[in-house]
Amino acid sequence: MKNVLGDNLTLTLFGESHGEEIGAVLDGFTPGVKVDLDFIDKCMKLRRPNGKTDTCRIEKDEYKIISGIFNGYTTGAPICMIIPNKNCNSNAYNDLVGIARPSHADYAAYMKYHGYEDYRGGGHFSGRITAPIVGLGSLCLKALNDKGIKIGTHIYKCGNAQDTEFKDFDKEIDLINNKEIPVINNIEGKLEEEILKAKDNNDSIGGIIETAITNLPAGVGEPWFSSVEGKISNAIFSIGGVKGIEFGLGFGFSEKIGSNANDEFVLNNGQIETKTNNNGGINGGITNGMPITFKCAIKPTPSIGLKQNTVDFKNNKEVELEIKGRHDPAIIRRICIVITCITAITVCDMLISRFGVDYLK
């Protein structure tokens, strides 16, 4: 189960960055859901590199869905998507065999797989493998949209570029999901400036993203070990660039007293809500009907052009490394749709577990 996510709805990933194809299988999805290929294409485009702030390795991602869909609807059988790798430059990695690139999985993978791993472009650990997550995750995202459940992720902070937190949730989710650069306020210029400054210095930059989920029914989630926070965190941490997550106020609770931290319950036209949402829509690991909110810390892209010290682990000697190739100076824009789509898969899994496989119909 090392490459499988989920309980009743499962996602299995396969392929390597420079292999012939990458792909995924989504098993346990609701039959009879209409498949919107235009929506899938839109989400895939949001993950694809586009412009000077992204890598120049551009794949068309001409995917094929080879099972699980018939006459435009899901059949209930496993849905398999394959995506060819066409724009590979494997020769760029010949001189890196046995070299532990800082903050990459090279050495860890070598120790686990005894040198049989595909090292080209990071192999199975590459961000390239997020393409099928978006491909099949967008199918889940559209099904949730059709049920009135919305998910969106925006860039909250990158260097000195600062966005606002979600406030008008549904409206702002619609806004960012239709923008090439997912921000609530018009900080695109400042954001580009921060990324290009790092790029011009042969460096990279990280940041913080914020995700919101609205209109989930209360009562979803399983204590103790399948809590909503736990299930979402498990999915989010499968994405290599994520190094931290907090729900609602998160670490901000440490600076509060109980009377300022608690979310008081109120009636709004007969609907039970909370006056504030410091807990991010979750109590006791279960949804309470308020919007779920969480922030993720995104690390700087580890492949940088500056000289770094490292180790040649095959020859057991220290070496100096200067990475060449095609790398993102920041992944924070492209990772937003990945986080949204893997969250959609997880939410669908939790809903199917709670209400049954036909819930999304």
User: 37-47 and 332-355 are packed helices; what angle lies between their axes, rounded to 10 degrees?
Assistant: 140
Superfamily of domain 4-360: Chorismate synthase AroC (3.60.150.10)
Decide: 19 and 110 in contact? Cβ < 8 Å. Answer: no
Residue 80: count of CB within 10 angstroms of its CB:
20
CA 161, CA 180: separation in Å to the nearest integer? Answer: 17
Single pTM value for the model: 0.96
CA 257, CA 93: separation in Å to the nearest integer? Answer: 53
pLDDT in tens, 65-107: 999 999 999 999 999 999 999 866 666 677 788 999 999 999 9
What is each CA distance from 265 to 270, 273, 359, in whole angstroms?
Answer: 12, 6, 28
CA 359, CA 361: separation in Å to the nearest integer? Answer: 6
> Which of 331, 327, 332 is CA-nearest to residue 303?
327
Confidence (pLDDT) at 83 = 96
Q: Which residues contact 158 (CB under 8 A, 6 or more apart)?
A: 191, 194, 195, 205, 206, 207, 208, 330, 332
The pairing of beta strand 150-158 with beta strand 10-15: unpaired
> Which of 191, 189, 182 is CA-nearest to residue 161?
191
CA 150, CA 213: separation in Å to the nearest integer? Answer: 6
Please report which residue ranges of 158-274 form alpha helices under DSSP H.
Answer: 169-176, 188-200, 228-236, 258-261
Long-range CB contacts for residues 78-82, cutoff 8 Å, separation at least 24? 78/25, 78/26, 78/27, 79/25, 79/26, 79/27, 79/29, 79/136, 79/139, 80/23, 80/24, 80/25, 81/23, 81/24, 81/25, 81/26, 81/132, 81/135, 81/136, 82/21, 82/22, 82/23, 82/132
At 16, list the tokens: 């390597």
Angle made by CA atoms 310, 96, 304, in degrees to the nearest 5: 65
Decide: 223 and 286 in contact? Cβ < 8 Å. Answer: yes
**Which residues lie across from 319 on neighbouring strands?**
310
Ranges of beta strands (E only) in the chain are 4-5, 10-15, 21-27, 64-67, 69-70, 73-74, 79-84, 150-158, 161-162, 207-214, 242-247, 265-268, 271-274, 282-283, 286-287, 292-298, 308-312, 317-321
Confidence (pLDDT) at 331 = 95
Decide: 247 and 280 in contact? Cβ < 8 Å. Answer: yes
> Which of 318, 317, 301 is CA-nearest to residue 309?
318
Q: Which residues of the chain fall below pLDDT 50? A: 1
At 295, list the tokens: 């922030």
pLDDT in tens, 267-297: 999 999 999 999 999 999 999 999 999 999 9
Confidence (pLDDT) at 187 = 97
Q: Where do the domains of the chain lie?
A: 4-360
